[in-house]
Amino acid sequence: MDRLMVSVSGVRGVVGSTLTADIARQFGCAFGTMLGAGKSVVIGRDSRQSGPEIQQAITDGLLACGVNVTSLGIASTPGVALMTSKLSADGGVIVTASHNPIQYNGIKFLQPTGTGLTAEDAMKLKGVWEAGEFAIVADEARGAESQDETAEEKHIADVLAICDVPAIASKRFKVVLDSINGAGCIASRDLMEQLGCELIHLNSEPTGQFAHNPEPVEENLTELCQAVRDHGAAVGFAQDADADRLAIVDENGRFIGEEYTLALAAAFVLSKRKGDIATNLSTSRMVDDLAAAAGCKVVRTPTGEANVISGMLEGGCILAGEGGGGLIEPKVVPVRDSFTAMAYVLQYLAETGISLSGLVDKIPAYVMLKTKQPCPIGAIEKIIDATRQAFSYQLEAKLNDSDGLRIDFDDAWVSVRASNTEPIMRIMAEAPNAEDAEALVAELTEIAATATGTENE
């Protein structure tokens, strides 16, 4: 299943196999051709050891097309997005494979606002790359390269500007943070220091040598959970490699799940100001319950950060995010941002005086199951068709095919879709209890196996 993934979420592949320096240079040329000579681009990377080579190749392609490039070095995804806007660049590039395993790397392209490319522009970029017709300029018209090392400082300053720093600092919270030796190591340390927290920092150097799989899910965070218990911490945080996603562990060392990152932030923000929230179709119903209680609504979009941001902007939402640990606070930067998420959770704890487990208990609970399995090319269409037929007879089922296929019931839902970043499909379900969620996942898994002829494998 090793293939280069090119989608609205950018480019991802296995380094040295489907993603090489030559391919990265081609995408640099393609983006430079789209923007035009004389334009400017900000570029940064996560800490993966393949990052410098991939970044330099993209930079070479941009320079060859007459585009000026400002390099941020190792920087978080929200940090690169923020600097793209602050430096008034015409575009941005982030070299990261986010939560994917270490053998992967990727390229994400940004608009001048710091948000990801629109679906239309992403397809245009793909078309330019596939055609291979690049606007290479003469040597004397090549772009210029410069450096800027202020991304972390400026990002943290903007996060602190929307928080009650004295209120948080007065509590002297003990925090355990797992930065996975990723891009968020240094800025996270600075944030915790300025918020007056006592930090126990795991995997705290940006070496790119991940201590465990970088996806911040329960099976990868046993060390964090134990450290919270050992140190008697108020909270445990886990970032992914580019520090745009955040998972949370409560004071008992219990992994509460990535879905609670957006839910807790939404509960905090809605306690102070009212407004709608944008999220994708794969995010928990907890957000809907919180919004309804505040007299607000949730704008649902297809999966993909760009889609959520579009929904946020079109709906005039005050907050957005994704259930995979991604909070988007447009007052700081219009992309997923683990730093703002950490600050909001800490302020929520400080202002309420309630433990994290207590705050979690105040939110209506569901059981969500997320599964993934290989998806042969072209198989997802068969699976969706078979699923639609299987559920079409159920009068209470509401079908939504804007992102794969999601089937909603009165108190539960199940969905199947192809991943934008990996050659897999995701089957997910949410229900009031584990038994019902497991039954929905099992039913859809069986439908998928029958549709692809793999039921006996």
Catalytic positions, written as ranges = 98
Phi, psi dihedrals of residue 132, rounded to the nearest 5°: 70, 20
Q: What are phi and psi of 420, to 5 degrees?
A: -85, -15
Rg of the chain, C-alpha, whole Å: 22
Could you give the CA distance from residue 438 to residue 290 in angstroms, rounded to a whole number? 25
The structure tokens 């609970």 sit at 365
Q: Are 120 and 85 in contact (CB under 8 A)?
A: no
- Calpha distance 223→360 (Å, rounded): 22
Q: How many CB atoms lie within 10 A of CB 85?
A: 18
d(CA 401, CA 415): 10
Classify each residue of 304-329 as buried b or exposed e, where b means 16 or more C-beta atoms within 10 Å of its C-beta. bbbbbbbbbeebebbbbbbbbbbbbb
Token reading at 66:
């007459």
Give φ, ψ of 370 to 5 degrees. -125, 120
The pairing of beta strand 326-328 with beta strand 319-322: antiparallel
| Centroid of chain to Cα 247 | 11
Tell how far CA 228 is from the center of its chain.
Answer: 24
